[in-house]
């Protein structure tokens, strides 16, 4: 098996089965950036000149997309949310260090929201307010969505970018399909348009596997937090990722096809599609406490959580 | 762990997790028949007095449903298709013997269609006419669908019953969902209504797992062919059954929920649904060779296959 780069005579560092390509470090970086630009164009994600805020966790995916966006010439600031997770060692502290180091090296602006400082409690405590024994992942999702949108709205950004990769997207789609949750299925998209107080949300890495984003971070020497969140162990999304990887081993390209075909079929109108623009807004009001949009009719879920003793 | 029947003081032979039941042989048989009757009612499958033809393979599922239908008082004849498969031992010959023995014991009528006698070739040869290296499963499906419908139409039966169980249905649904094949998804149903030359098709075992139909055959002493079809090895449906069983181990009830929620969501109009009654019939004509319905505009796929040298 020859492992020479398909674009030069250097040793290839990665084989991209679905693209029938094997590339050296330099050409892999070039290809990764170009393919991200194609994804941005394909889903009409961004226009040049728009101001972006990237949700940065200190992990490989969010640092990779921040890196690519600035290389593509976009004006992209970072947002780090310190979740106050410190079960084994100090997870949140380490991830913040990586985010700050990256920002500093690339002369990028990073806004930090600290849950404990600003709201008096981190994810573990907030989660135990809602339910005693369950995993904190749903609380964490709720808190992050709120803070990300608030920061994007307050900073008047045109778009909010997250580092979700293909494996993230596919595991969520797989889970929602197994339960035929059509509401969640209708909302899953590489782009959620702006509207009703929500900033446009983008996932430009949605067509790269975790292996591919990891490789991008590695060949660029990006330092990122390698530990999984301590709460991820036993989480259903990790379980589904395992199942999907097992099937991918058997049928190369299955994950990307599952995701792309889903988007195609929905575009053709054969699956329900959520669209903020079409929404009448009748059931969305502004939370009297924080001013963020909510469909609860009164306080939003985030403020209700913060008000819970 | 007490394994006493929930309905009497006999030893339980099966635990039905999703129904929170454990039953002795006698009460399991009673429950299985009643639950089949409920499925028939739930999906408006049959009216009393209707004439049924059951596609019998000699396996546990088709013999189980034939057994249940006659116990429920339906007039049900059998149809056995000798596929001429004899790779390891003599698969088709053995399965015919089981079907005939069952018919004889229960004084039921069994019609036999022999592919080699009537059409000059069995599945292995017919399959190699279409494609040299692929598995014969798709050819086998085409041939069986044709012969079943022809027998049902010629015999003027009201409905054609197959022994598909939950695992069969779920693995097909899973496969079609992974590829978002909306045409196939729209057609998958416990009942396909009659229309345009197609007899109504029913799957009254669609809510029983393979484990449950096997148990029914065993406790009734039904002799069935235990070997898998020699071509099944490595077939994708067996692979998906394995994946689904693996997930079921993790989340009991996942398979039945995946199937039932799918049917519910489609009934609510959130997924496309095929309906022969609504079909205009504009694209269905009768094959000039066999008189069966086809959308090819000329010879049906079966006759084209038979005419291929």
Residue of B nearest to A251 (CA): B236
Q: What is the pLDDT of residue B132?
A: 64
Average pLDDT value for residue range B122-135: 83
Q: What is the pLDDT of residue B88?
A: 56
Q: What is the pLDDT of residue A89?
A: 59
Predicted ipTM > 0.90: no
CB contacts, 8 Å: A182 with chain B: 265, 270-271
Structure confidence by residue, pLDDT tens digits, B224-243 = 998 888 888 778 889 999 99
Average pLDDT value for residue range B9-25: 94
Q: pTM of the predicted model, to two decimals?
A: 0.91
Average pLDDT value for residue range A107-114: 97
Find the helix or strand (DSSP H, E) in which B293 lies. Answer: strand B293-294
CA–CA separation, A55 vs A62, rounded Å?
A: 7
Strand order in the sheet with A51-55: A110-114, A75-82, A51-55, A159-161, A200-202, A191-192
Residue B304 has pLDDT above 90, yes or no: yes
Residue A267 has pLDDT above 60, yes or no: yes
Residue of B nearest to A247 (CA): B243
Out of A239, A254, A265, closest to residue B180 by CB: A265
Residue B140 has pLDDT above 70, yes or no: yes
Chain B interface mutation, best of A171, A178, A184, highest count of B Cβ atoms under 10 Å = A178
Q: Is A255 helix (H, G, I), strand (E, B) or coil?
A: helix
Q: What is the pLDDT of residue B275?
A: 65
Q: What is the pLDDT of residue B179?
A: 96
Q: What is the pLDDT of residue A133?
A: 65
Angle between helix axes A60-71 and A210-219 (nearest 10 degrees) is 60
What is the percent of chain B with per-residue pLDDT over 70, rounded to a whole number? 95
Residue A88 has pLDDT above 60, yes or no: no
CA–CA separation, A192 vs A276, rounded Å?
A: 8
Average pLDDT value for residue range B41-50: 93
What is the percent of chain B with per-residue pLDDT over 90, rounded to a whole number? 79
Average pLDDT value for residue range A235-245: 92
CB contacts, 8 Å: B247 with chain A: 178, 243
Average pLDDT value for residue range B215-227: 94
- Kindly report the nearest CA distance between residue A271 and chain B, in angstroms: 6
**Chain A residues with CB-CB distance to B under 8 A?**
177-180, 182, 239, 243, 246-247, 250, 254, 257-258, 261-262, 264-265, 270-272
> Does the distance separating the beta carbons of A247 and B247 come in below 8 Å?
no
Average pLDDT value for residue range B187-194: 94
> Does the distance separating the beta carbons of B182 and A262 come in below 8 Å?
no
Residue B61 has pLDDT above 90, yes or no: yes
Residue B277 has pLDDT above 70, yes or no: no
- Kindly report the nearest CA distance between residue A272 and chain B, in angstroms: 7
Find the helix or strand (DSSP H, E) in which A283 lies. Answer: none
pLDDT-derived band at B94 (thresholds 50, 70, 90) equals confident
How big is the CA angle at B280 (ends B279 and B285), to the nearest 5 degrees? 100
> Does the distance separating the beta carbons of A258 and B178 come in below 8 Å?
yes
Q: Is B216 helix (H, G, I), strand (E, B) or coil?
A: helix
CA–CA separation, B40 vs B38, rounded Å?
A: 5
CA–CA separation, A66 vs A162, rounded Å?
A: 9
Out of A180, A250, A270, closest to residue B261 by CB: A180
How big is the CA angle at A149 (ends A144 and A153), to the nearest 5 degrees? 150
Residue B143 has pLDDT above 70, yes or no: yes
Structure confidence by residue, pLDDT tens digits, A172-186 = 999 999 999 999 999
CA–CA separation, B134 vs B123, rounded Å?
A: 12
> Does the distance separating the beta carbons of A182 and B258 come in below 8 Å?
no
CA–CA separation, A160 vs A111, rounded Å?
A: 13
Residue A1 has pLDDT above 70, yes or no: no
Q: Please give, one letter per residue, the 3-state secondary structure of A118-171.
A: HHCCCHHHHHHHHCCCCCCHHHHHHHHHHHHHHHHHHCCCCEEECCCCHHHHHH
Contact between B35 and B41 (Cβ < 8 Å): no
Out of B179, B246, B264, closest to residue A257 by CB: B179
DSSP B195: B
Residue with the two structure tokens 């692929």: B134
Residue B276 has pLDDT above 60, yes or no: no
Residue A278 has pLDDT above 70, yes or no: no
Q: What is the pLDDT of residue B295?
A: 86
Give the β-pairing of B14-16 and B21-23: antiparallel
Which string of b and e fits B237-254 if b means at least 16 CB within 10 Å? eeebbebbbebbeeeeeb
Residue of B nearest to A178 (CA): B258
CB contacts, 8 Å: A247 with chain B: 178, 243
Compute the half-sphere exposure of residue B230: CA atoms within 13 Å on the CB side of its CA. 14
Residue B279 has pLDDT above 60, yes or no: no
Q: What is the pLDDT of residue B281?
A: 55
Residue B17 has pLDDT above 90, yes or no: no
Q: What is the pLDDT of residue A17?
A: 87
Residue A266 has pLDDT above 80, yes or no: yes
Q: What is the pLDDT of residue A136?
A: 86
Q: What is the pLDDT of residue B92?
A: 75
Paired tokens of B222: 């039904």
What is the percent of chain A with per-residue pLDDT over 90, rounded to a whole number? 79
Residue B134 has pLDDT above 80, yes or no: no
Contact between A213 and A300 (Cβ < 8 Å): no
Average pLDDT value for residue range B156-160: 98
Residue B86 has pLDDT above 80, yes or no: no
**Average pLDDT of chain A to the nearest whole number:** 92
Maximum CA pair distance of chain B? 64
Structure confidence by residue, pLDDT tens digits, B107-116 = 999 999 999 9
pLDDT-derived band at B308 (thresholds 50, 70, 90) equals confident
Average pLDDT value for residue range A227-247: 88
Residue A157 has pLDDT above 90, yes or no: yes
Average pLDDT value for residue range A32-57: 96
Point out the least confidently predicted range of A133-147, B87-101, B284-298: B87-101
Point out the least confidently predicted range of A192-196, A252-256, B167-171: A192-196
Q: What is the pLDDT of residue A283?
A: 78
**Chain B residues with CB-CB distance to A under 8 A?**
177-180, 182, 239, 243, 246-247, 250, 254, 257-258, 261-262, 264-265, 270-272
- Kindly report the nearest CA distance between residue B300 and chain A, in angstroms: 28
CA nearest to A247, candidates B184, B236, B154, B92:
B236
Q: What is the pLDDT of residue A94?
A: 85
pLDDT-derived band at B1 (thresholds 50, 70, 90) equals low
Give B191's strand partners: B202
């Amino acid at each position: 098996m020859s492992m020479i780069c398909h674009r030069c005579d250097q040793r290839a560092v990665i084989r991209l089965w679905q693209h029938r390509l094997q590339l050296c470090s330099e050409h892999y970086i070039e290809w990764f950036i170009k393919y991200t630009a194609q994804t941005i164009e394909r889903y009409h994600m961004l226009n040049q000149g728009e101001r972006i805020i990237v949700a940065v966790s200190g992990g490989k995916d969010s640092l990779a997309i921040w890196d690519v966006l600035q290389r593509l010439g976009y004006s992209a600031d970072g947002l780090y949310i310190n979740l106050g997770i410190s079960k084994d060692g100090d997870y949140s502290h380490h991830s913040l260090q990586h985010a700050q180091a990256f920002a500093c090296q690339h002369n990028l602006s990073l806004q930090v929201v600290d849950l404990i400082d600003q709201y008096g409690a981190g994810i573990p405590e907030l989660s135990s307010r809602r339910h005693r024994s369950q995993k904190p992942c749903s609380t964490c999702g709720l808190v992050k969505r709120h803070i990300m949108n608030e920061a994007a709205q307050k900073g008047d950004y045109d778009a909010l970018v997250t580092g979700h990769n293909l494996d993230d997207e596919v595991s969520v789609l797989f889970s929602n399909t197994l339960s035929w949750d059509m509401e969640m299925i209708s909302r899953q998209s590489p782009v959620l348009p702006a509207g009703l107080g929500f900033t446009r949300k983008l996932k430009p890495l949605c067509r790269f596997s975790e292996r591919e984003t990891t490789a991008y971070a590695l060949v660029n020497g990006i330092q990122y937090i390698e530990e999984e969140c301590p709460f991820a162990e036993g989480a259903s999304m990790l379980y589904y990722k395992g199942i999907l990887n097992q099937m991918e081993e058997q049928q190369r390209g299955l994950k990307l096809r599952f995701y792309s075909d889903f988007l195609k079929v929905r575009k053709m109108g054969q699956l329900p599609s959520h669209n903020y623009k079409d929404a009448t807004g009748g059931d969305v009001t502004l939370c009297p406490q924080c001013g963020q949009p909510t469909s609860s009719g009164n306080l939003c879920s985030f403020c209700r959580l913060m008000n819970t003793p």
